[in-house]
């Protein structure tokens, strides 16, 4: 390698080398600009990644009337970067290659012995759009996009504060993706920032294509159904969390931003809570809690009650349940299990289906599987009701990834209920609580502010107290814990 590069000079050979090393792709442009000093300045860029207007109006013109290269760019400038002409050819070539594939424009001025990399990155992508996974009625309709620059803008727009910090780093030996760490320097606890930074730096992987890649590397515990980092595509939510002193992690190429630390009860609060009247918000929050319990426990309790503890069911109801089950072949446990699985299949299919067919599918699911199965006496009506209820309640929770974990828990509990009835459910519940209290997210106990208890935070957990009643600019308990350390 070293030998081959011997005697090659940046001025003469670099352009050609780059072309060959990139396999002379169709979108590689290599122009020779003639300045009025009759010097030739080579200009290389991938024209699929760059903003042509910048190149034509700014670079080309400024080079041609020699306005450009006069002042050497200040070092540390993100946009214009100077490379020393004297540096070893090999390293220079590597940097230049990196720059080109990262959408920069390379200017080689052989006469003046200057090599400048100008950031003209402008990748094709979606414009700002409504968030898909967490829409709201009241509140901003903007969602993050795949373009990290736009996302930064969306955050800055909401927090006009000099102490808002963006730390950029490149992760992924192959993909070389841009990952950005965002926090408020005056609010975020130093320990937290350091922790996140070190965990990000510790990532050894070849590619990061979505924020979940990062999430899996930096979360505290792998073996848990619960998300320990909040992922959102709502700028306002992100801003709110940043203002609570939390740290956000953005990955270029995905609209999902990770926020750490996350506590259990934040999963039940949606940005909408703070845009609505306090009483309504509180009520809705309770609905969410209830539907969480319903989604997790309803089928298992049904199984337990109908196959182990029939005495629980009021006589009349029991009679009609029995009447429904006359001639149903499957045991209740299998019945529920089957229906749940079928339901999950329908839902999964519904996601993949093109919109138009989705309608048809839901009809098939509802009518054929519900109605027909009941009338054919394969499934008792009660089971269909239970499954439907759990299915609906599952969608109430505002965080999508949390909905997933609910589904997982539900099946476990059905198993336990089918195994030992209420006792099994009890054991499962105790296990769950033990797991939750032992869980930590970036050093913050998952169940704060419930356990460990900090009472003055309860006014924003089970209720959403009116803002005037809340203490102004008090960070949540989780962050205060970290500050204390």
Partner 1 sequence: MISRAQFYLLTVNFTLGTTLFVTINEIIQRGKRDAWMMPLWAGAYGMLAALLWILLLRSSPGKSPVQIAREAWGPAGVIVGILYLLWFCMIGAWALRNVSDFMNVTIMPRTPPSMFHVMFLLVAGYTVVQGTETIGRLNGIVTPFLVFPFWTILMLATVDWDWERLLPAFQNPWEIFRFTSLMGFPFMETFALMMLYPKVRSGAAGALLLGLASAAMSISLVVFMVTGLLGPERAGRILYPIYTVVQEVELGDVIVNIHSVLIVILITLIFIKLLVLLYAAFETIHQLFRPASRWPHLEALSILLSAAAVVIYENPIQNRVLNGAITIAYDVFHTILIPALMLLSLRLRRALQSRPRRR
Partner 2 sequence: MSRRQRAAAAVLALCAALLTSCWDKVEINELSLVSLAGLDRDPESGIYTVYLQVINPATGASAQGAPGGEQSPVYTYAASGKSLAEAQVTFYKLLPRRMLLHHTKAVLISERAARQGMRDYMNFSELQPDARTSIPLLVVDGSIAEVMRTFTPLERNPADSIVSRLDLMYDFTLKAGRRIELRDVIERVEREEMVVIPIVAATSKTGHLNSFDVNAEIDANRNQLRVSGGAVIRDYRMVGRLNEGDLVLYHVLTGEKGRFVRRFPFRGGHITVNMRSRRMEQRLDWQDGKPVVRIRLQFEFSTIAMKEYFPQTLDELKKLEQHLNQVFAEELKTFVNKTRGKGWDLLRIRSLLHRKAPNLPDPDQAASEAEIKIEVETRLRGMGNLGRLYDGAGGEP
User: Whole-number minimum distance, CB 318 to partner 1, in Å?
Assistant: 10
Stretch that binds partner 2, among 210-218, 309-317, 370-378, 389-397 (CB under 8 A): 309-317
With binding defined as CB under 8 A, does residue 131 bind partner 2? no
Q: Which does 445 bind (CB under 5 to 8 A by kind): partner 1, partner 2, none?
A: partner 1
For residue 216, what are the contacts with CB-CB under 8 A and spacing of at least 6? 222
Please pick, from the candidates 328, 422, 463, 470, the single residue that binds partner 1 as defined by CB under 8 A. Answer: 422
Stretch that binds partner 2, among 82-90, 158-166, 395-403, 414-422 (CB under 8 A): 414-422
With binding defined as CB under 8 A, does residue 480 bind partner 1? no
Judged by CB under 8 A, the chain residues 323 through 352 that form the site for partner 2 are: 323-326, 328, 331-333
End-to-end Cα distance, the chain? 52
Q: How far apart are CA 165 and CA 195, in angstroms?
A: 16
Q: How far apart are CA 382 and CA 303, in angstroms?
A: 11
Q: Within its chain, how far is the Cα of 57 from the centroid?
A: 37
Q: Which does 437 bind (CB under 5 to 8 A by kind): partner 2, partner 1, none?
A: partner 1
Q: Which does 435 bind (CB under 5 to 8 A by kind): partner 1, partner 2, none?
A: partner 1
Please pick, from the candidates 126, 157, 194, 309, the single residue that binds partner 1 as defined by CB under 8 A. Answer: 309
Q: Which CB, 384 or 417, lies closer to partner 1? A: 417
Q: Report, in angstroms and rounded to the nearest whole number, the Rg of the chain calculated over CA atoms.
A: 29
Please pick, from the candidates 22, 28, 338, 415, the single residue that binds partner 2 as defined by CB under 8 A. Answer: 415
User: Whole-number minimum distance, CB 477 to partner 1, in Å?
Assistant: 14
Starting at the edge strand found earlier in the chain, the sheet holding 247-251 runs 164-171, 177-184, 247-251, 257-260, 230-232
Q: How far apart are CA 452 and CA 14, in angstroms?
A: 62
Please pick, from the candidates 22, 289, 318, 432, the single residue that binds partner 2 as defined by CB under 8 A. Answer: 318
For residue 241, what are the contacts with CB-CB under 8 A and spacing of at least 6? 230, 248, 259
Q: Which CB, 315 or 473, lies closer to partner 1? A: 315
* Bridge partners of residue 178, in order along the sequence: 170
With binding defined as CB under 8 A, does residue 427 bind partner 1? yes
Q: How far is CA 375 from CA 318, 367, 368, 379, 383, in A?
A: 20, 11, 10, 8, 13
With binding defined as CB under 8 A, does residue 418 bind partner 2? yes
Per rule CB under 8 A, count of chain residues that contact partner 1: 27
Please pick, from the candidates 34, 290, 319, 364, the single residue that binds partner 2 as defined by CB under 8 A. Answer: 319
With binding defined as CB under 8 A, does residue 435 bind partner 1? yes
Positive or negative: CA dihedral 263, 264, 267, 271 = negative
What b/e readout covers 354-382, taking b as 16+ CB neighbours within 10 angstroms? eeeeeeeeeeebeeebbeebbeeebbbbb
Q: Within its chain, how far is the Cα of 206 from the centroid?
A: 19
Per rule CB under 8 A, count of chain residues that contact partner 2: 27
For residue 388, what are the contacts with CB-CB under 8 A and spacing of at least 6? 370
User: Whole-number minimum distance, CB 322 to partner 2, in Å?
Assistant: 4
Stretch that binds partner 2, among 204-212, 286-294, 313-321, 351-359 (CB under 8 A): 313-321
With binding defined as CB under 8 A, does residue 398 bind partner 1? no
Question: Among 226, 237, 207, 222, which residue's Cα sits nearest to residue 133?
Answer: 237
Q: Within its chain, how far is the Cα of 300 from the centroid?
A: 31
Binding mask 436-465 for partner 1 (x = CB under 8 A): -xx------x-x--xxxx------------
CA dihedral 177, 178, 183, 184 (to 10 degrees): 180
Q: Which does 126 bind (CB under 5 to 8 A by kind): partner 1, partner 2, none?
A: none
Is the link from the previous residue into 449 a cis peptide, with omega within 30 of 0? Answer: yes
With binding defined as CB under 8 A, does residue 312 bind partner 1? yes
Which residues make up the interface to partner 1 (CB under 8 A)?
308-309, 311-312, 314-315, 420-427, 430-431, 433-435, 437-438, 445, 447, 450-453
Where do contacts with partner 2 occur on this chain (CB under 8 A)? 222-223, 306-308, 310-311, 315-316, 318-326, 328, 331-333, 415, 418-421
């Amino acid at each position: 390698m070293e030998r081959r590069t011997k005697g090659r000079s940046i001025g003469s050979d670099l352009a050609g080398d780059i072309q060959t090393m990139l396999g002379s792709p169709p979108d590689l442009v290599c122009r020779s600009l003639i300045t009025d000093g009759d010097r030739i300045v080579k200009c290389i860029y991938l024209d699929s990644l760059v903003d042509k207007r910048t190149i034509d109006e700014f670079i080309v013109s400024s080079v041609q009337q020699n306005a450009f290269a006069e002042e050497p760019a200040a070092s540390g400038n993100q946009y214009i970067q100077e490379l020393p002409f004297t540096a070893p050819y090999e390293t220079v070539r590597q940097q230049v290659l990196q720059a080109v594939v990262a959408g920069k424009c390379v200017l080689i001025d052989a006469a003046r012995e200057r090599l400048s990399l100008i950031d003209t990155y402008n990748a094709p992508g979606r414009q700002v759009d409504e968030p898909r996974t967490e829409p709201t009625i009241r509140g901003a309709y903007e969602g993050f996009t795949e373009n990290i620059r736009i996302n930064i803008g969306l955050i800055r727009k909401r927090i006009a504060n000099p102490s808002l910090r963006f730390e950029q780093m490149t992760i992924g030996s192959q993909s070389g993706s841009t990952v950005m760490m965002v926090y408020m320097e005056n609010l975020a606890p130093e320990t937290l920032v350091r922790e996140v930074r070190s965990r990000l730096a510790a990532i050894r992987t070849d590619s990061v294509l979505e924020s979940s890649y990062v999430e899996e590397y930096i979360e505290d515990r792998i073996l848990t159904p619960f998300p320990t980092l909040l992922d959102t595509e709502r700028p306002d939510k992100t801003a709110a969390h940043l203002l609570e002193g939390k740290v956000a992690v953005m990955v270029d190429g995905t609209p999902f931003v990770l926020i750490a630390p996350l506590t259990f009860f934040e999963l039940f609060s949606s940005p909408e809570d703070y845009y609505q009247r306090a009483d309504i918000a509180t009520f809705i929050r309770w609905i969410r809690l209830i539907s969480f319990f319903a989604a997790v426990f309803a089928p298992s309790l049904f199984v337990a009650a109908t196959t182990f503890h029939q005495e629980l069911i009021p006589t009349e109801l029991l009679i009609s349940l029995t009447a429904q089950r006359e001639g149903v072949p499957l045991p209740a446990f299998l019945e529920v299990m089957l229906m749940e699985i079928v339901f999950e299949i329908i839902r999964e299919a519904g996601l993949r289906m093109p919109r138009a067919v989705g309608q048809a599918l839901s009809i098939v699911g509802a009518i054929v599987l519900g109605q027909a199965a009941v009338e054919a006496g394969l499934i008792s009506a009660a089971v269909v009701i239970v499954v439907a209820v759990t299915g609906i309640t599952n969608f109430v929770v505002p965080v999508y990834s949390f909905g997933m974990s609910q589904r997982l828990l539900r099946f476990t509990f059905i198993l336990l209920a089918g195994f030992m009835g209420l006792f099994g459910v009890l054991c499962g519940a105790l296990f769950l609580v033990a797991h939750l209290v032992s869980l930590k997210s970036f050093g913050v106990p998952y169940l704060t502010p419930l356990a460990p208890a900090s009472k003055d935070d309860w006014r924003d957990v089970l209720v959403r107290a009116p803002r005037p009643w809340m203490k102004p600019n008090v960070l949540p308990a989780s962050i205060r814990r970290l500050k204390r350390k």
